[in-house]
Structure 1
Amino acid sequence: MSTTMKTTNTTLTGERADLHQALSNCRHFLRFTAQNLTNEQASTRTTVSELTVGGLIKHVTAMELQWQQFMIRGKAAMARDGVDFYNMPPEALEAFGAEFSMQPTEQLAGLLEKYAHVAEETDRLLAEIDLETVHELPRAPWFVDTHWSVRRTLLHIIAETTQHAGHADIIRVSLDGQKTMG
């Protein structure tokens, strides 16, 4: 039995439909954690971690956008390419940390809207891109591999979104008891 999935203007089948469905599911769970939150709640820490629901949505948006560009342009698209990830300068570390933080001037609705736009672009890309294309990764302590295919990059987006949806769920439960599932 073949899987079929309709994106904005494209019908995906087989592996592409499966990748799209997995990505759609984990995005749903991340967005669900933000449901009915105020901006103050979305920027509230509920654990010893610096993470917040709004900050996680902001980070996942930036992460998906960066990997989207990696799938198209390879290593050159990595925003921090050229930075020594093993010895990052303070300003680079600060910029990376801000990616996880919902700033006082940011609104949850705006973060969710930007996330939706990035997701739409990834979905359009998934419909057309060659999944077999392989790109070199930048040297960094969090990469075990040296190269990823577009397929592997999509799987990474799914994994990272799922991981952060779990983080957001813990934060949300600590805020007001709402759970994503169960």
Structure 2
Amino acid sequence: MADDLTQSELVPIGGSWSGLLFDNPRADATTALTWSFTFDFADIERDYGNVTPGLTVDWAPLPGLASWRGLARANISCATFGEPVESSVYYFEHHRFDGVELSVLDQEGGRILARALVSGDIDDLGIPEFAVEAWLDFEGVIVQLPHQPGSLQAAARELARFTSVEGLQGRDQGRSYLFESARS
């Protein structure tokens, strides 16, 4: 089909990364800090509309990571969607990929240089495998727990069990707390 997406159209223009401290007792999920990496691509035009595609690598646990400032050289991979990482490309709708390899190549403050290789086109995007590399900007860490911490300080203590809170400033968002770089 002439409107199929081609790998050459996926031109990286940056992106973002963030963390989520979360648990779900109903699903037997214990409290964990996971990371999300979003690679943005240049807009693509079609006769029926425009789209800003993106690749998201989500729910990535990086155990043993002492600080959000220390992601350089972090790696994670999985061969099956959701075990534990999920990856999908947004191109007018979400298209899942089975396998993902993510590497953080460098870090400068809140910016990371990340590389992702996805494979196993589950939802027929039409690209069986591709790699992307881009600088991603830090958007913060959300603390969202069913036992909502009663204060910003309590949320910071919860987060500190998983990563350093040094250099982060928090704010109450009602149902969660957002910790952003103090330089944001």
TM-score normalised by the chain length of structure 1: 0.27
TM-score normalised by the chain length of structure 2: 0.27
Higher normalized contact order (CA 8 Å, seq sep 6+, divided by chain length)? 1
